[in-house]
Every structure is written in structure tokens, then in C-alpha cells.
Chains A and B, each alone.
Chain A
Amino acid sequence: MTSWPPLLVLFVLTPLVGAVLTPAVSDASGRRSWEWALGTMLLTSAMAGALIMRVLDEGPFSYVVGGWVAPYGIELRFDEFSAFVAVVCLLGLLAVIFSRHYARDALAPGRIPYYYTLLLLNMTGMIGFIVTGDLFNLYVFMEILSLSAYALVAISGEKTAEMAAFKYLVMGAVSSLSILFGVGLLYALTGSLNMADVTGRLAGSAEAPLVLAFAALTLGFMVKSALFPLHIWLPDAHAIAPSPVSAVLSGLVVKVGILGMLRVYQIAYGSGAIDLSGLNLMLTWLGAISIVMGAFFAVFQDDIKMMLAYSTISNIGYIVMGLGLASPYSLIGASVHVFNHALIKATLFLGAGALIHQTGRRTLTGLAGVGRSMPLTTAAVSIGAISIVGIPPTAGFLCKWYIALGAMQAGEPLFAVALVFGALLIFVYYIRMVNAFYFRKPQEAGAPAVHEAPATMLVPVLILAALCLVMGVLGRLPLSFIEPAVTRLLAPLGGG
């Protein structure tokens, strides 16, 4: 079963078909569409499990759609970086479960089926983006992903949400065009769209268009991943979207930019046609600035989701800095942080969603003392906070450790300093949050009695919080998993 070739295609098609059919199976209460989306996600997750088993056994593999071999046909590829689909499916599944009560209370009933459609479409785009081996398909899946994300931000129907969605859409569309331009240039240079094929043919191309192509791709992915100073769309969009959507956006959708950059690196390093040291230097600096600026802005937020959104910018900074340093340790750290940050940020956003749903308040002042009435949720959020700061033995620690070690390895201790003090700033605002939960008295005496969220909201949050701990203790599993991929990536450089 695990090595049945078409599974990879079905894996992409399942959520797509599920998405299209959701409105058709829906009933008035939206309950049926929830069940349908849940079933789709369960099936997709099972497939993801099977595929990951296979990559563990055999290493990277690919499937050629319709028997047309590269460079003409469409190739789907599954390698270690693709294992990110595990997190995609997990978060997608938990977001769907979480949405059952959340969507019912937060959205107009008529929109609920479409909400699940968009969520599943988003998953389709994400999965397709990760497993495709073709540059143009990369663009198409990215657009599926982005369009559904714009719509999901706006779905609550509030005017601020729609304005945030519009801002997100304009920046997202410009960045997509930049990426399409880069893809076009690469096609012009090589006559191929298959990534492996492009890599092979790039050597000896003229330098100017090559640099332009990589610059366009990187710029596009930088906007998608909200790297400072191209982050301005992110805080509003992530803070205003419904919480399960925020979790998916922050945990997964921004990672598209990162995974895209990883693909670009695979092509650039593999072909050896271009020297990326200038780009690396820029990314390292921008990463460091993102860490500090993201943390700095977050400190002044009172809105809990706004704070989390800025924290995403910081964490993207960590990952990009790790990429830019381009030493084996930092790349391992950055790749694993792509996984772990998804888990941690989803814990935080879903937890925050549960808090907001139950209390009706979203500011730290408003949430004062909520630790007394919702101990489980606040405990989970606190674990997420500890984890994102990077305190051992939680999931966030090892990644930051490796990135810092990578900075030392690359002979750039200053960036390790930026990392550590960025973490310190992040610590400061999470302490504010924990402070508000536990050490401040509730503001109004006559506030309505608050209790824990229903199981469909509480359980996903608890599962994710537990994973934050487990991934910390078993941290070496993802590390050893991603190591061969990083070694392969750096092999042409003679490093690693």
C-alpha cells in the first residue's frame, strides 16, 4: 500500500474533491459539512502517514502524472522537506475539529459550508505546493492556497476583516506575480519547468537573467513569508481572521514562503550556476531584523492575537536567518523550526481562540485572571508560550539552539547574539500574557461566569500543547529526519 504510486496523486486530489463537494453535502445547521470536512481530513492524514512511512523507508521518490516523463509531464515529488505535510494534515485536522463550535458561533450559518470548502482548498494548495516537482504547478498551487487564504481572512464579514483581506490580497497578488516572473525567466533560460531538470540545465546560463530570476523568486517568497519589511499585511490578517484560520495561516501558510525559498535554494545550490552569498547575507540580516522588530512590536500589543501575529514575524525571522547563514547546523535548525513553529503557533492561536470564544474578550486587560476559570486552556497556552520562547525541554528549544550554533559555526557570533536577545524580548511579552492570565485580578466583578471551552475546542489545544512538549523531548527525531536532506542540499557546496 505504502508504495502504491498513484497514492501521491490521490493525496493531492482528496482534499480538492472534498472541498468542491462540501457545499453539496451540507445541511442547514452546517453539521454535515463539518463531518464531511473531518472525514476528508482524516483520509488525507492517513495518506500523509503512508507517504511519510515510505520516505522513511526509501528516501525521496516521485510520481509522474499520466506517464509523461520530465520535462514534459507533471512530476510529483516527495522528499524529507515534504514531510511538512504531516504537520499540514495534523493542523488541518485539528483546525477542522476546533471549528465545529467556533464556526457555528462566529460565522453566519450560510457561510459555514463555504468556510470548510475554503479550508480544504487551502489544504489542497498547501499539499500540492509541497509535493509538486514542477515550477508552474508550484505557482498554481500557491495561488489556490493564497486565494483561499484571502477569502478565509474575510469570511467573518466584519469590515476590518474585509479590509485586512484586501490588503493581504494586493500584497499577495504582487508577490505571486513576482514569483511567476521568476518561473518564466527560469523557463526561458532552461526550456523546462521541472525542478530537477531545471537544476541540471542551469549551469552556464547568462548571469544577469539568472540573478533576476532568483531575485524575483526570493522577493515573492519574502512577501509570502512576511519577512520584515514586507510584513505589513500579516498582523491585521492573522489577528482578524477566525482563530482556526489564524492557526492555519500562521502555522502553515506563511511557511509557503519558507518552503519556496528552500526549493529555490535546492535549485541554486544544485545547479551551482549562481553564487548566493550576497542573497544569504541579505536574508541573514533581514531575518535578524525581523526577529527584533517583530518582538519589539509585539511587546506593545494589548490584543492577544495581534501579539501572536507579530510573534510569527519574529519566528519567520529565525527561520530565514537560519537559511541565510547556510551552515549545516543553522539549516537543520531552520528546517525543523518550520515544523515546530507550526505546532507551537497553532497551540497559541487555537488556545487564544478558545479564550476569546469563551470570554468574548481579546485584550490582555480583558483576559485578566482567566487562568482561574479556564485552567486547562491557559496551561496549554502557557506551554506554547514557553515553547516559542525556546526554553528546554519544549519544541522551540532545539531549533533555536541549532540556529544559534549554526551562527557560531558560520563564524557570525553576532547573529547568535541577535537570536538570544530576540528570544529575550519574546520572553518579555509572553510573560505579560502569562501575567495577565494568572496574576491579575479579573477586571469587572460582575463578569459572566466563564468556564472551559467545549471538548471540540479544548482537545485540539491540549493535543497541540502536548506535542510541543513531546517534540521537545524527542527533538532528535525530526533532527535526524531532516539531516540527510540538508546534507544533500549542501553537498554541491562541499559543505556539510
Chain B
Amino acid sequence: MIDLLWDNLDYAASMVLFCIGLYAVITRNNLIKKFMGLNIMETAIFAFIVALGVVDGGNAPIMGEGAAKPFINPLPQALILTGIVVAVSTTALALSLVIRIWRQCGTIEADELREAE
């Protein structure tokens, strides 16, 4: 069991991160903190997918001098670049919403906002 965990430490770590993030999203009262939880979740998933492409002892798959097999699978990294773009857009949108909520309600605590409603 321990061996299995040790072999897949990268996956296990991303799962732990994911759970931390989800916990924050669910329990935090502050909208920014909620969103930070979401960012942690995003990071966890990204790390997980990038880790999929890792080959033990692999090199960066860059052609040219010094290129030698085995290469690391570049596809997950390319995907995650796109994923990061998506995550950044989401964050930008969320933060702009939070700013507007702050300006209009004077608070970004979820419970106070509910009362104000």
C-alpha cells in the first residue's frame, strides 16, 4: 500500500491538493478565499495531467542538439497551457465580479451578502 502510494506520489499529491481546494470552496465564507480554493483545485488537476506525461529519466522533447530519447510526452503540457489560459480567464472574470460586488454591497462575505439580499 505504502509502495503504491510512493510510486504514485505525484497523483496522490494532486488529489490532496484537489481536496484542500474543494474544502476551501465549500467552507470559506469570503468570496476571494472561495475563489482561491478554486484556483488550488485547478492547479491540482493541471499538475495531475502534466504528471501523466512524465517518463522516468525523460528529456524535454525539443529537437536539435542534445535531443535524446526517451522524451517526455509533450501533449499534456500543451493541453495544460490551454487549461491555464482558461483558468486565468475564469479568475479574471471572478475577480471583476468580486470587485463589483464589493463596490455595490460593501462586503464580500457570503453570509452578509445573503442578509443584504
Contact = CB atoms under 8 A, between A and B. Distances in A.
Contacts of A181: 18, 45, 48
B5 interface: no
B44 to A, nearest CB: 8
Given A151-B93, A162-B100, A166-B94, A174 B105 contact: no
A174 B38 contact: yes
B21 to A, nearest CB: 9
A373 B105 CA distance: 38
B38 to A, nearest CB: 5
Interface string A135-174: 0100110010001001100100101101101100110011
Interface string B69-111: 0000001100100110010011001100110110011000000
Contacts, number: 74
B117 A169 contact: no
B93 A150 contact: yes
A193 B75 CA distance: 10
Contacts of A193: 75
Nearest to B103: A159
B60 interface: no
Interface residues of A, number: 27
A107 B97 CA distance: 17
Nearest to B52: A188
A184 B97 CA distance: 30
Contact of A162 (B18, B25, B90, B101): B101
Prevailing SS type, chain B contact patch:
helix
B20 interface: no
Which of B38, B52, B90, B101 is most buried by chain A, counting CB atoms within 10 A of its CB? B90
Nearest to B105: A159
B49 interface: yes
Contacts of B79: 136
Contacts of A165: 97
Nearest to B100: A162
Contacts of B19: none
Interface in A173-192: 173-174, 176-177, 180-181, 184, 187-188
Contact of A169 (B42, B75, B90): B90
A174 B25 contact: yes
A147 B45 contact: no
A136 B113 CA distance: 37
Contacts of A143: 86, 89-90
Contact of B86 (A140, A154, A160, A174): A140
Contacts of A160: 117
16 contacts: A143-B86, A150-B93, A154-B100, A159-B100, A159-B104, A159-B105, A163-B117, A166-B31, A166-B94, A169-B93, A173-B90, A177-B38, A180-B45, A184-B48, A187-B49, A187-B52
Q: Which 5 A-B pairs have the closest CB atoms?
A: A159-B104, A184-B49, A143-B86, A188-B52, A166-B97
Given A143-B86, A181-B45, 18 more contacts: A136-B79, A136-B82, A147-B89, A150-B97, A151-B93, A162-B100, A165-B97, A166-B98, A170-B25, A170-B34, A170-B35, A173-B38, A173-B90, A174-B25, A177-B41, A180-B49, A184-B45, A193-B75
